[in-house]
Amino acid sequence: MKKFLVLGVLFVLPLVAYLFFASGVHNFAKLPVLTKSIGDLENFEPLAQEIVSFDNKITVLGFLGKDIYHKQGNAFNLNQKIYKKNQGFKDFQFVMILPYGSENAAKELLDELDNITDVSEWKFLFGTPETIKTLFNSLKTPYQLDDNLATKYVYIIDKNKGLRGRDGTLKDDEVKVYGYDASSVADLTNVMDDDIKVILAEYRLALKKYKADRKEN
């Protein structure tokens, strides 16, 4: 009986491991750059007195707009499905863009999120309609901001200010993925979570290689 049990474990475990790693279409691919360099955050004012930048950060960028209460559900979805899983990564941040006048509503939302998890890497920035539109247009996506300067989509920005996503060339990709629908738990769980894992793994591998190279030198 023990012999069959051992043989079963030796056979099943590698198969389970293979299926686990094969389940994500992008697990061993580099997440494509769709827009090489987007705008910066210099013309935005943060809620907290701090400097917020895309430089050397992996950023989830969102546009909550002037009617933030209609986007609270999206923020909670992102917090639960993306932020909480990855907040331990040192260079990972969430940047939410809003128009001036939304400061109090943003503070209330941040306080609610703080009841659930550490929100130190949630950054709320405020700007004029013009600066918001300029930043959004620099993403060069097929989407548009609504009349409240908001969108349900969020975007992955790499450490070089590049927009990352799916370029439609992989077998399972039918279309390009520029952004991720924060109102859809399925989209966050089945698509964005996988892509976040890929880009974080990419930088972890790059860091390991850098450390290995330094030891050799």
Q: Please name the helix (run of DSSP H) or strand (run of DSSP E) that holds residue 196, with its range, or none.
A: helix 193-216
Contact 93, 127 (CB under 8 A): no
Alpha-carbon distance of 56 to 53, in angstroms, equals 8
8 A C-beta contact, residue 61 and residue 95: yes
CA distances from 181 to 103, 105, 194 (A): 24, 22, 14
Q: Which fold would CATH assign to domain 31-216? A: Glutaredoxin (3.40.30)
Q: Are 178 and 155 in contact (CB under 8 A)?
A: yes
- The residues of the chain scoring below 50 in pLDDT are 6-7, 9, 12-28, 210
Q: What pLDDT does 170 receive?
A: 66
Closest CA to 118 of 79, 72, 71, 69: 79
| Residue found under tokens 């969102």 | 62
Q: Could you report the per-residue pLDDT of 88-131, keeping only the tens digit for each?
A: 898 999 999 999 999 999 999 999 999 999 999 999 999 999 99
Residues 6+ apart with CB under 8 A from 42: none
The H or E element that residue 151 is part of is: strand 150-157
- On whether the CB atoms of residues 177 and 26 are closer than 8 A, the answer is no
φ, ψ at 62 (rounded to 5°): -135, 160
pLDDT of residue 78: 97
- Whether this prediction's pTM lies above 0.85 is answered by no
